[in-house]
Structure 1
Amino acid sequence: MKPAASEEFTLAPGLIQLNHASYGLASRTVADAAMKHRRRIESDPTRHLGAELLEDLRARTALVCTAFGLTPEHTTLCSNATSGAAAIIASVPLTPADTVVVLDTEYSSINRAWQVASGRAGARYIEIAVPLPFQGTASLLSRLENEVPGPVSYLQTSLISSSAALRLPVAEIAEWTRGRGGHLILDAAHGPGHVRIAPDTWGVAAVFGTLHKWLPAERTVGFLWLTEQLVDRIRPAEVSLTWDSADLVERFSWPGTFDPVPRLCVGAAVAQWVGWEHKGLLTECEKLADHATSTLEALAARPTAGREYLPPRLRSFILDGVTVAEVKSALSKADIRAWVGPGPSGECLLRIATHIYNDRGDVAALAALLEEVLHP
């Protein structure tokens, strides 16, 4: 029998959802709150999408900051992680004298955005290979030291990488970057609601991410955190009516006509997430992820890193001897949802996420399927 908490979601009967990390999933509670916000907005759009909206969004920003330990004057909500990244990449000054370093485990569109920006400015773009399984902090820092000549302007890394699900050593990478005179830009798409966020402690220059992946929030809602030095510099990638605002929240509050409801619902999502945490449900998800890891390892699926670098509820595995297409097809036919795709070197990666609607039966079904695929 599925966990009682699974009733909070509208997943199709019989579907095994182990791909929570790709898109997240709004709960019934948050969906109900969203409906109320939409009805209120449609009752008087001129009022509710006008000046009143800014104060509503400012209140939600403050709530997110309180929940995750961020400074309100350095934080704003935005459309999603991609829009936050685009704002940073479009706003930081790049010249032919600059060097941008990006790890190849980053989300591909982020790498491409830095590559395009560097190309336009004539800046040097260096992509660092991170072999899987991840060999650890010392190996990564040695690779950076050996493959990056001279000063660095910006280094892009993730708190938790997307495809390979690596919990990267952010503080150590930031320290190395500062030692080369540069700034670390952090992708925290898989942070809020999953792992602790501490940009001040880590010494990073900017953080972008999402709130709809690990919170039961409506899609899409992102966030942006900036150091004091960047607060006045970073502007939305789209030039809208509030682009010139000196106020960070206002600057990102109106990217043209948009649906503000996902941002307005973050309070309901945070409250429900806090409730799950207090009940120990998220701890149970972590235990289930550990169980899944040991179960799949027994089938010769190789974790992408050692235990120290594994996120609590997101795990990725290297599957040898099979293709991405073969695994995708088998999962689809069995109504099991998990992310499958190529790793940085073309290896077949399988990524799973454990959430409060999952149980050991889901892991057993996945394991049985992989047994057929890996050992026909």
Structure 2
Amino acid sequence: MSETEVVTAPGPLLLADGRPAAEAWSLDPALRHLNHGSFGAVPVVAQERQNALRAEMDRAPVVWFPELPRRIAAARTDIAGFLRVAPDDLALVPNASAGASTVYASLDHRPGGEIVVTDHGYGAVTMGAERLARRWGGRVRTARVPLDADEEQAQEAVVAEFGDATALVVLDHITSATARRMPVAGIGAEARRRGIPLLVDGAHAPGLIAAPLDGVDCDFWVGNLHKWGCAPRGTAALVARGPLREGLYPLIDSWGATDPFPDRFDQQGTLDCTNHLAAPTALDLVERTWSWDAARVHMDELAGYGERIVGAAFAEGTGADDAGPVDVGMPVPGMRLVRLPEGLGRTRAEADALRDRAPAELGVEAAFTSFGGVGYLRLSAHVYNTPADYEYFAEKCVPVVCEWSRAARS
């Protein structure tokens, strides 16, 4: 950013009564919360709804649990409407990783079968793919996708790993470490043409993408509602279409095992499923107060603002040409990637250490990630964020992070 360039900050969102949007959450005001993308943030109304449901469960458990499948079915119908998919295609699972594990457990044994993943994949999901490949006596093939690859380049890199032994493709919709999209539609079409099942890890997609499955031809798709949807944690969608879904069963066997998909997921013993029932309350808050379309525009504008001012601060603080905003090839709304100064976040362990250090020393909750031996700051924006959050990081935190860099290299 040049000295003469003026960066205009988007205005903050307000509640209907004029209070700041953050008043609808219980986030610690002593911290700046710039990492919505990791664990989300549950609005107070959804917390209260879940607490009321738990109280109801504990008042009369013998009434509660027999009625629970019906209530979960109603909740997933609401969630299906939010994702714009058919309710009969959607089951509720604890999180995207659990959804992926459910898929891995459902697939028929494929002796020597290979699984294609990318080097941007979420670690837990990739590790599950590696375990499945070992059970099959096969291996995982990792497609190397350059960080700045465009849609065509990324698709070519993934499809190049397809072969006669390919038994499954696992592909992120939006990558966690690198905050970019993958061309799931094009890769899905090619996988379908070759008869290869596709699992899409859409952990970050619900809320960021209005209709994440539109135009996507995949056998399985998993997405977290606790991230951008702000639902209570432990709420995710597993969407399955086509004949392979009939092999999907919950990881916990229960009395619903003989029911068809997805009904068999609505009954899983004595699990506390109040999170599933309270999820529509969180989704409704955003829609009723601002609309999700308006919220997405705001989040994207705010993330872009944060990227520009934080990136400019890093560039000024380090004097490095490659400091600051990063070209991720296929950007997503609501998240941005900024390169960290040299010597920081080069591995996942180093990045996690920065994450753990930031609240106490910087006064922020922030996401630090690593890709290809380079450390990054992944900025997130939600409706409760304001320009002041990113201005604080640029003015107060960037100089400290630059000092960390100098200490790491000394």
Q: Same fold (TM over 0.5)?
A: yes
SS at match of 2:338: strand
Q: Runs ≥4 in structure 1, deviation > 6 angstroms?
A: none
Match of 1:56 in 2: 71
How far residue 43 of structure 1 moved from its aligned partner, in angstroms, is: 1.3
How far residue 235 of structure 1 moved from its aligned partner, in angstroms, is: 1.3
- Of 356, 363, 379, the residue aligned with 1:335 is 363
Identity percentage over the alignment?
24
SS at match of 2:262: helix
AA partner of residue 342 (structure 2):
G
Segments of structure 2 that go 5 or more residues without pairing to the other structure are 1-10, 14-19, 316-322
AA partner of residue 306 (structure 2):
A
AA partner of residue 334 (structure 1):
L
- Of 304, 318, 324, the residue aligned with 1:301 is 324
Conserved 8 A contact 1:61-1:75:
yes
Aligned partners of 1:256, 1:82: CA distance in 2, in Å? 21
1:65-116 deviations in Å (ceiling 9; x for gaps): 1222111111111222121111101111231242210112111010010110
TM-score in terms of structure 1 length: 0.91
Conserved 8 A contact 1:81-1:210:
yes
- Of 30, 35, 41, the residue aligned with 1:14 is 30
Query: Does residue 70 in structure 1 map to residue 85 in structure 2?
Result: yes
Aligned partners of 1:229, 1:202: CA distance in 2, in Å? 17
Match of 2:3 in 1: none
- Of 235, 252, 259, the residue aligned with 1:246 is 259
How far residue 190 of structure 1 moved from its aligned partner, in angstroms, is: 0.8
How far residue 141 of structure 1 moved from its aligned partner, in angstroms, is: 2.6
Query: Does residue 270 in structure 1 map to residue 293 in structure 2?
Result: no
Match of 1:135 in 2: 149
Conserved 8 A contact 1:96-1:124:
no
Aligned partners of 2:159, 2:169: CA distance in 1, in Å? 13
Match of 1:159 in 2: 173
Conserved 8 A contact 2:112-2:165:
no
SS at match of 1:153: strand
Aligned partners of 2:125, 2:193: CA distance in 1, in Å? 24
- Of 368, 373, 388, the residue aligned with 1:346 is 373
Aligned partners of 2:299, 2:182: CA distance in 1, in Å? 21
Query: Does residue 85 in structure 1 map to residue 106 in structure 2?
Result: no
When the two chains are superposed, the root-mean-square deviation of aligned CA atoms in Å is 2.2
Conserved 8 A contact 1:81-1:208:
yes
1:151-204 deviations in Å (ceiling 9; x for gaps): 532111111111111122110121232233312211111111111334362111
How far residue 267 of structure 1 moved from its aligned partner, in angstroms, is: 2.1
Match of 1:28 in 2: 44
1:19-70 deviations in Å (ceiling 9; x for gaps): 11111111111111112211211110111112x1111011111111122211
Aligned partners of 2:12, 2:31: CA distance in 1, in Å? 11
Aligned partners of 2:376, 2:327: CA distance in 1, in Å? 9
Query: Does residue 39 in structure 1 map to residue 93 in structure 2?
Result: no
Match of 2:138 in 1: 123
AA partner of residue 380 (structure 2):
A
- What is the aligned residue count? 370
Match of 1:182 in 2: 196
Query: Does residue 370 in structure 1 map to residue 398 in structure 2?
Result: yes
Query: Does residue 292 in structure 1 map to residue 306 in structure 2?
Result: yes
Match of 2:384 in 1: 357
Conserved 8 A contact 1:99-1:124:
yes
Conserved 8 A contact 1:320-1:347:
no
Conserved 8 A contact 1:155-1:182:
yes
AA partner of residue 118 (structure 1):
A
Conserved 8 A contact 1:293-1:303:
no
Match of 1:232 in 2: 246
Conserved 8 A contact 1:340-1:350:
yes
